[in-house]
Structure 1
Amino acid sequence: MTHSSKPSARRGAARRIGRSLALVLPVVLVLSGTLAVTRVNWSGGGSSDSVLTASAEDVSTPARSRAPQDVLRDRLLLELQEKDPGVALTHLQQEVNDRPSLARHCVSIARALGRAAVQHYGASRAQSFARPVCDTSFASGVASQQG
């Protein structure tokens, strides 16, 4: 009957190990996950290699999408540099016609195009692209960069 006492002793040891793991394992997982995400700079000085850390605030706020007028302005500024201001102004007018909600931003976009045209083409050449898009705001942007 010596054999009957060994299985119960093994079960008791297995239970103790299981309970210990049940208590310790979640703590270890949380700590290892936290340490994997963050790193503390103990030297106190700034280093050239920055470390990104996660915070509860960053996780809870959704990423902001860019406003349609900002996307359009950036696309047209790129188009102005790659092609010419006339093409960008034509596309601005088409976008405003297709999406009337952009009309209130037309003036600021056209001025930004005018300022960029002066920087890219010079004042006199930039003025030659002016047309009555958004109440001559492009010309206003060109004029603001000249003075």
Structure 2
Amino acid sequence: MNQTARRIGRSLALVLPVVLVFSGTLAVTSVPWAGPPSDTQLLTASAENVSVPAKPRAPEDLLRERLLTELEQKDPGVALTHLQRAVEQSPSLSRHCMSIARELGTAAVRVYGPTEAQSYSRPVCDTSFAGGVAGAS
């Protein structure tokens, strides 16, 4: 009896996977969308049509971009005032204050020239604006 059970078990172990694969293949081919290739529309992925979600931008990058736009549209004084207020409202931005102010100074020289850019200099973020003006001059 024990030998017979083993023999049946071995037979099932060999036959069962084949039966499962065959029945799965039949199930897939019997669904409506699996018709002959001429009847179905093939969908292909194209890199041109794939939408890649934008990475979230850091608050300091958003602030930098906004201030550079203000500098060009208004004047460096407005941008420096808004930088100072942003750092006061969100102290986590203080570690980026010097680099943002330096970039504002460099951009001010490009837009207004070195003399006028220097006239907007004030002690925001440890005079980094003036350092950016001097570096760009």
Same fold at TM > 0.5: yes
Which of 118, 126, 131 lines up with 2:122 in the alignment? 131
Question: CA–CA distance in 1 between the matches of 2:31 and 2:55?
Answer: 45
Question: CA–CA distance in 1 between the matches of 2:117 and 2:31?
Answer: 76
Q: CA 1:21 to 1:111, structure 2 compared with 1: closer, same or farther past 3 Å?
A: same
Which of 40, 47, 50 lines up with 1:28 in the alignment? 40
The aligned runs of 1:34-53 (5 Å cut-off) are 34=44, 37-38=45-46, 52-53=48-49
Aligned length in residues: 108
Any unmatched runs of 5+ in structure 1?
1-18, 39-50
Q: CA 1:25 to 1:102, structure 2 compared with 1: closer, same or farther past 3 Å?
A: farther
The percentage of aligned residue pairs carrying the same residue is 57
Question: CA–CA distance in 2 between the matches of 1:101 and 1:120?
Answer: 29
Q: Counterpart of 2:107?
A: 116
Question: CA–CA distance in 1 between the matches of 2:103 and 2:111?
Answer: 12
For residues 91-115 of structure 1, what are the alpha-carbon distances to aligned partners after superposition, in whole Å with 9 as ceiling and x for unaligned? 0000000000100000010000000
- Normalised by the length of structure 2, the TM-score is 0.69
For residues 109-142 of structure 1, what are the alpha-carbon distances to aligned partners after superposition, in whole Å with 9 as ceiling and x for unaligned? 0000000000000001100000000000000000
The aligned runs of 1:56-135 (5 Å cut-off) are 63-135=54-126
* 1:24 shift after superposition: 1.6
Answer with 1 or 2: which has the greater Rg. 2
